[in-house]
């Protein structure tokens, strides 16, 4: 599991060390870690370090200090290192170290000619160390640094062209370490070397896409860190946590998933959703819907028990409601019943409007998992605002600029878990638990993926519904109501892994669902 922290959390953990005068030692350790990754990348690209042209884009604070000390190390290995000072000063010891190692300094804020020279130097470099802003940033890049980065990006080589390698110091400058927001220009990094702990901004969109590979250099702060701001499940977590049957299990103890999906207009969603719940290992899958859809469900997944019942007549451990369930009053009545009841449920697509109404009436709770994509979240937030449950209704651009904020807002306003689907999917629970998963192939962006995800989520939700400690192996934080958020993140991870199981290429949802089975054959 990756645990990530805000810049303020890491700075607070560092404070006692700084008060004991260990700041310079921490900086040297950070800079050494940065230099090692830069050396590795340079060797990969050009075989040798000697003679490499390295530019350090250096800000005025300690982030710049890290970059200058790392630049000194590269200079001692024979690289030609130029520090581009973007502000009115440089970290004094860092500058002295760089000069002593033979590095040079270009004061880029000294007027237009200096700025133009800086841009040429960056574009001609083999490697750029981006050390303008780190955890001390307030907002995006401004001033000379912003002008340089903008001018460089204007002339950035097309894919396949020879662009300099970019290694970011702590975070790509201009990306918020706390939120992943990127206000203004940012040089996209091939690698980001961070210090003490992963920062929230490395895992949150849109900044996460600008980080490249993230490497964390330990600074010995681990014991001083508080609870993380967010988490990401990795393969080992999924293998350890996914509910598995034991020798004494039977279909009911493993979890029955009830699926309210499909309609005469959209029967396919029900087929994909039920199939995925079966493939994800549910003990039993029930389907409720119209006669035509039921018949198709039985033909494509004979394992499923389909009926025209009402949810009140059935005992299941978890519901999945909404995929393809539009324009059908009987389905709408079933959805309302599930939303008003206590049984955990995945609430998708056609059920999100009903969920917003139920939330405004106070009916939802932490066992309900809403699964909007960005466009649907905008709609849900607009409904919630119209119903008086939130103050603000953002547009899509606002949601995409700070998705974590709006996923959290929706979770607090509804009292439910909100899964904001995207290339990076965020899982926000009321009370503040936040997970971020980025496991899927870009090919997942296809009609029917969401129906498949809902089915997978239903299966894991049914498996944990009656077991508050189902995921206690992940830590104390994952007990009780938090397990619903963990279940959602597990489903997102498995769905993402399945999309890559056969390499990168098209993943029609039926094939994706089958790949879920191979992913779940992971060693426990």
Ligand X SMILES: NC(=O)C1=CN([C@@H]2O[C@H](COP(=O)(O)OP(=O)(O)OC[C@H]3O[C@@H](n4cnc5c(N)ncnc54)[C@H](O)[C@@H]3O)[C@@H](O)[C@H]2O)[C@@H](O)CC1
Nearer to ligand X, 88 or 392 (CB): 88
**Torsion angle (degrees, nearest 10) of CA 401, 405, 408, 413:** -100
If one asks whether residue 201 binds ligand X (CB under 6 A), the answer comes out as no
d(CA 193, CA 36): 10
Q: Is 307 helix (H, G, I), strand (E, B) or coil?
A: strand
Kindly list the distances between the CA atom of residue 472 and the CA atoms of 230, 243, 428, 519, in Å, as whole numbers in the listed order: 17, 12, 19, 22
The answer to whether the annotation marks 163 as part of a ligand binding site is no
The answer to whether the annotation marks 439 as part of a ligand binding site is no
d(CA 72, CA 66): 10
The answer to whether the annotation marks 207 as part of a ligand binding site is no
Strand 284-288 to strand 256-260: parallel, antiparallel, or no bridges (unpaired)? parallel
If one asks whether residue 108 binds ligand X (CB under 6 A), the answer comes out as no
The answer to whether the annotation marks 140 as part of a ligand binding site is yes
Nearer to K ion, 195 or 497 (CB): 195
Window 272-311: residues binding ligand X (CB under 6 A): none
Nearer to K ion, 172 or 455 (CB): 172
Nearer to ligand X, 142 or 479 (CB): 142
If one asks whether residue 192 binds K ion (CB under 5 A), the answer comes out as no
Nearer to K ion, 64 or 311 (CB): 64
Nearer to ligand X, 33 or 415 (CB): 33
**E strand map for 229-363:** 230-232, 256-260, 284-288, 305-307, 318-321, 345-347
Q: Which does 415 bind (CB under 5 to 8 A by kind): ligand X, K ion, none?
A: none
Nearer to ligand X, 37 or 343 (CB): 37
Q: Which does 137 bind (CB under 5 to 8 A by kind): K ion, ligand X, none?
A: ligand X
Q: How many helices (H) and strands (E) does the chain have?
A: 19, 19
| 206 prior amide bond cis, ω within 30 | yes
| Contact indicator for 311, 288 with CB cutoff of 8 Å | yes
If we measure between CA atoms, which residue out of 149, 189, 184, 152 comes closest to residue 168?
189
If one asks whether residue 62 binds K ion (CB under 5 A), the answer comes out as no
d(CA 425, CA 403): 9
If one asks whether residue 173 binds K ion (CB under 5 A), the answer comes out as yes
- Residue 58 beta carbon to ligand X: minimum distance, rounded to whole angstroms: 9
If we measure between CA atoms, which residue out of 46, 104, 23, 25 comes closest to residue 71?
104
Q: Which does 66 bind (CB under 5 to 8 A by kind): K ion, ligand X, none?
A: ligand X
Give the 3-state DSSP-derived string for 398-465, with helices as H, strands as E and coil as C: HHHHCHHHHHHHHHHHHCCEEEEECCCEEEECCCCCEEEECCCCHHHCCCCHHHHHHHHHHHHHHHHC
d(CA 474, CA 281): 21
If one asks whether residue 221 binds ligand X (CB under 6 A), the answer comes out as no
Q: Is 336 helix (H, G, I), strand (E, B) or coil?
A: helix
Burial of 501 (0-12, 13-18, 19+ CB in 10 A): middle
If one asks whether residue 18 binds ligand X (CB under 6 A), the answer comes out as yes
Query: For residue 217, how many C-alpha atoms fall within 13 Å in the half-sphere facing its CB?
Result: 22
d(CA 263, CA 329): 10
| Interface residue with ligand X, options 60, 293, 301, 371 (CB under 6 A) | 60
Q: Which does 135 bind (CB under 5 to 8 A by kind): ligand X, K ion, none?
A: ligand X
Window 130-159: residues binding ligand X (CB under 6 A): 133-143, 145
Q: Which stretch binds K ion (CB under 5 A): 162-170, 289-297, 430-438, 451-459?
A: 162-170
If one asks whether residue 169 binds ligand X (CB under 6 A), the answer comes out as yes
The answer to whether the annotation marks 373 as part of a ligand binding site is yes
If one asks whether residue 125 binds ligand X (CB under 6 A), the answer comes out as no
If one asks whether residue 169 binds K ion (CB under 5 A), the answer comes out as yes
If one asks whether residue 237 binds ligand X (CB under 6 A), the answer comes out as no
Nearer to ligand X, 22 or 510 (CB): 22
**What residues contact residue 100 under an 8 Å CB cut-off, 6+ apart?**
72
- Residue 74 beta carbon to K ion: minimum distance, rounded to whole angstroms: 16
The answer to whether the annotation marks 135 as part of a ligand binding site is yes
Size of the site for ligand X (CB under 6 A): 29
The answer to whether the annotation marks 124 as part of a ligand binding site is no
Nearer to ligand X, 172 or 322 (CB): 172
Window 21-40: residues binding ligand X (CB under 6 A): 23, 26-27, 30
If we measure between CA atoms, which residue out of 454, 459, 448 comes closest to residue 510?
448
Q: Taking the CB of residue 373, how many other CB atoms lie within 10 A of it?
A: 17
**What residues contact residue 259 under an 8 Å CB cut-off, 6+ apart?**
270, 273, 274, 277, 285, 286, 287, 288, 304, 319, 320, 321, 323, 455, 458
If one asks whether residue 194 binds K ion (CB under 5 A), the answer comes out as no
- Residue 217 beta carbon to K ion: minimum distance, rounded to whole angstroms: 14
Q: Which does 173 bind (CB under 5 to 8 A by kind): ligand X, K ion, none?
A: K ion
d(CA 266, CA 268): 6
Q: Which stretch binds K ion (CB under 5 A): 91-99, 129-137, 208-216, 266-274?
A: 129-137
Q: Which does 237 bind (CB under 5 to 8 A by kind): K ion, ligand X, none?
A: none
Q: Which does 319 bind (CB under 5 to 8 A by kind): K ion, ligand X, none?
A: none
The answer to whether the annotation marks 53 as part of a ligand binding site is no
The answer to whether the annotation marks 145 as part of a ligand binding site is no
- Extract the annotated binding site: 62-66, 130, 134-140, 170, 173, 269, 324, 373, 421-425, 450-451
Please give the residue ranges that form the binding site for K ion (CB under 5 A).
130, 169, 173
- Extract the annotated binding site for K(+): 63, 130, 173
- Extract the annotated binding site for AMP: 421-425, 450
Please give the residue ranges that form the binding site for ligand X (CB under 6 A).
11, 14, 18, 23, 26-27, 30, 59-64, 66, 133-143, 145, 169-170, 195
């Amino acid at each position: 599991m990756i645990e990530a922290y805000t810049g303020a959390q890491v700075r607070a953990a560092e404070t006692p060390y700084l008060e004991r005068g260990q700041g310079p030692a921490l900086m040297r350790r950070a800079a050494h870690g940065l230099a090692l990754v830069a050396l590795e990348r340079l060797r990969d690209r050009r075989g040798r370090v000697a003679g490499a042209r390295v530019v350090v884009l250096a800000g005025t604070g300690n982030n710049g200090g890290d970059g200058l000390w790392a630049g000194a190390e590269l200079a001692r290995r024979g690289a030609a290192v130029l520090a581009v000072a973007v502000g009115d000063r440089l970290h004094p010891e860092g500058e002295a170290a760089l000069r002593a190692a033979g590095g040079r300094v270009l004061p880029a804020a000294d007027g237009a000619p200096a700025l133009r020279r800086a841009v040429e130097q960056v574009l001609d470099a083999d490697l750029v160390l981006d050390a303008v802003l780190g955890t001390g940033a307030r907002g995006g890049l401004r001033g000379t640094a912003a002008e340089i980065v903008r001018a460089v990006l204007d002339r950035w080589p097309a894919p396949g062209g020879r662009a300099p390698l970019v290694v970011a110091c702590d975070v790509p400058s201009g990306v918020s370490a706390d939120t992943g927001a990127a206000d203004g220009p940012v040089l996209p990094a091939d690698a980001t070397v961070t210090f003490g702990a992963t920062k929230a901004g490395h895992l949150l969109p849109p900044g996460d896409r600008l980080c490249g590979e993230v490497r964390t250099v330990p600074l010995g702060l681990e014991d001083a860190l508080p609870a993380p701001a967010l988490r990401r499940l990795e393969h080992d977590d999924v293998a350890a946590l996914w509910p598995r049957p034991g020798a004494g299990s039977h279909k009911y103890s493993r979890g029955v998933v009830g699926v309210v999906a499909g309609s005469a207009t959209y029967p396919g969603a029900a087929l994909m959703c039920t199939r995925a719940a079966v493939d994800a290992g549910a003990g039993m899958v029930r389907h409720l819907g119209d006669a035509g859809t039921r018949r198709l469900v039985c033909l494509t997944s004979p394992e499923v028990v389909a009926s025209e019942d009402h949810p009140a007549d059935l005992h299941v451990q978890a519901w999945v409601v909404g995929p393809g369930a539009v324009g059908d009053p009987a389905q709408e009545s079933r959805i309302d019943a599930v939303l008003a009841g206590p049984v955990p449920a995945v609430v998708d697509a056609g059920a999100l409007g009903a969920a917003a109404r139920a939330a405004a009436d106070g009916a939802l709770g932490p066992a309900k998992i809403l699964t909007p994509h960005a466009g649907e979240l905008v709609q849900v937030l607009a409904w919630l605002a119209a119903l008086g449950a939130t103050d603000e209704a953002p547009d899509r651009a606002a949601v995409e600029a700070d998705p974590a904020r709006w996923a959290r807002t929706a979770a607090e306003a509804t009292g439910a878990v909100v899964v904001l689907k995207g290339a990076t999917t965020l899982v926000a629970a009321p009370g503040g638990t936040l997970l971020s998963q980025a496991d899927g192939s870009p090919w997942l962006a296809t009609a029917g993926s969401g129906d498949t995800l809902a089915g997978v989520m239903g299966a894991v939700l049914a498996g944990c519904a009656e077991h508050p400690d189902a995921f206690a192996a992940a830590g104390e934080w994952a007990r009780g109501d938090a397990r619903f958020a963990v279940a959602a993140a597990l489903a997102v991870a498995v769905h993402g892994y399945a999309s890559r199981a056969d390499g990168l290429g098209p993943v029609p949802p039926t094939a994706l669902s089958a790949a879920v089975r191979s992913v779940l054959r992971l060693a426990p």
